[in-house]
Amino acid sequence: MNAAAEADPRADGTPERTPERPPGRTLLVTLTGTDRPGVTSLVFDALARFGVEVIDIEQIVLRRRLILGLLVSMPRDWKALRGALEDVASELDMSLEVARGAGDNRPRPEGRSHVTVLGTPLRSSAVAAVTGRIADMGANIDRIERMARYPVTAIDLHVSGADPDRLRVVLAAEAARQSVDIAVQAQSLLRRGTRLIVMDVDSTLVQGEVIEMLAARAGCQDQVARITAQAMRGEIDFAESLRARVALLEGLPAAALDQVYDDLVLAPGARTTVRTLKRLGYRFAIVSGGFSQVTDRLAAELGIDYAAANELEVVDGRLTGRLVGELVDRAGKAAALRRFAGLTGVPEAAVIAIGDGANDLDMLSAAGLGIAFNAKPLVQRAADTAVNVPYLDAIMYLLGISREEIEAADRAAGIVTPAPPLG
């Protein structure tokens, strides 16, 4: 070993390790009671007089009911500390428990996941079933946080001790039985980093199908709708179905594209989703089997970074019933995802793809997290997770962003959001 390696054990390329704390005597302090300003300050003023070290702390408030848990090093005169804390608890009219022990919390087992559960409503029987399946696997719930209480109820469970892939399979079956949505994501730094959202357009970002809206103006809506339904269910090849549907639009004035764009209705929560995640540095792309004459305008309006779609041929102000350029089909959507990830400098593992139809399957598979949004059964079975509530902004709860954080950011920007219902 050379002198540099002897001076610095990391010189051989091995990562520096933080020394583990030797086990010592500790106190677990738990206070419960009505929350009010100054509770935590008074408790820590008492602790400070004894020079204890804070090892861990958790605090939650439910309907103004406070639960404060502190793990601290045990001083020599721990009984005097307990007496001081009892005085504080009496002053605050709170309950106090002090328990002696040794060491820090037990190390959490391998296999760390975020399990997000969404329900409208979220019934106690569903939570019991989900937590029961987690327990059956020998896993532990380390923490539970509420992400939203309206328009859906969303909770995030921090789970350890179970393989995320196996946990996903078990909980997907339970989600179907309980009529709730459950997303399982392995805990990693990617959840906090810059990410790319790649989203389908028809029946995902917007309600309905653009080609059917055009067909209504061309007088062939029923024929197009039948072909669309077959394609979305995966019963016929998307490329073949698209060409067949576009052919039915021959002769339609190109002005109908402007009319359809004006009639588009965004999915509930779509603007909120894009606005909020863009603030956090996320990049957005839309990838559609629809038409660039519509999606390019949509991207510009919403501030979306990238767009890929098929282009309708227009000659003398009318649709010819043909497409021009490279076809954006099932494989084309996945290729666009990889291209946009490269342009953004985001690894594919940090890409989130959202779609509803069979032509989204390759794109959902290519992403680190594939979300089936109000999707066909075939797509729900293949995706990493499914969201079946009609609100696109529910996607953000899967990313660890709470409804309260979303609304606080909107208020700071001067955007008024509706008040939540009482209850």
Backbone region of residue 85 per phi and psi (left: phi > 0; alpha: psi in -120 to 50; beta: other values): alpha
- pTM, entire model: 0.78
Provide CATH 3.30.70.260 ranges for the chain.
25-102, 112-187
CA 371 – CA 352 distance, rounded (Å): 7
Contact assessment for residue 329 and residue 245, using Cβ atoms and an 8 Å cutoff: no
Exactly one of 156, 202, 356, 362 is catalytic; name it: 202
CB 88 within 8 A of CB 44: no
| Other residues' Cβ atoms within 10 Å of the Cβ of residue 159 | 26
Confidence (pLDDT) at 171: 94
From the options 3.50.50.60, 3.90.209.20, 3.40.50.2300, 3.30.70.260, give the CATH code of 112-187: 3.30.70.260
d(CA 30, CA 28): 7
Q: How far apart are CA 404 and CA 137, in angstroms?
A: 32
CA distance 311 to 326: 9
Domain 197-209+251-383 CATH class label:
alpha beta
Give the model's pLDDT for residue 415: 84
Amino acid letter, residue 277: L
- The most distant pair of C-alpha atoms in the chain lies apart, rounded to whole Å, by 92
Q: How far is CA 264 from CA 201, 319, 363, 372, in A?
A: 11, 20, 24, 21
Q: Is 316 a catalytic residue?
A: no
pLDDT tens series, the chain, 423 aa: 444 444 444 444 555 554 444 557 999 999 999 998 889 899 999 999 999 999 888 888 888 889 999 999 999 999 999 999 999 999 999 999 999 988 766 665 678 899 999 999 999 999 999 999 999 999 999 888 899 988 899 999 999 999 999 999 999 999 999 999 999 988 876 666 668 999 999 999 999 999 999 999 999 999 998 998 887 777 888 888 999 999 999 999 999 999 999 999 999 999 999 999 998 889 999 999 999 999 999 999 999 999 999 999 999 999 999 999 999 999 999 999 999 999 999 999 999 999 998 899 999 999 999 999 999 888 998 998 899 999 999 999 998 899 988 988 888 888 876 655 544
Structure token pair of residue 23:
């086990």
Q: Which positions ≥6 away from 146 have C-beta within 8 Å?
A: 153, 154, 155, 156, 402
Contact 330, 200 (CB under 8 A): no
CA distances, 154 to each of 41, 105, 123 (Å)? 31, 28, 11
pLDDT at 212: 93
pLDDT at residue 418, rounded to an integer: 64
Q: Which CATH architecture has domain 25-102?
A: 2-Layer Sandwich (3.30)
HSE-CB at 242 with a 13 A cutoff on CA atoms is 22
Is there a catalytic annotation at residue 12? no
| Active-site entry in 35, 156, 181, 200 | 200
pLDDT at 2: 45
Numbered ranges of CATH 3.40.50.1000 in the chain: 197-209+251-383
Length of the chain (residues) = 423
Residues 6+ away with beta carbon under 8 Å from 240: none
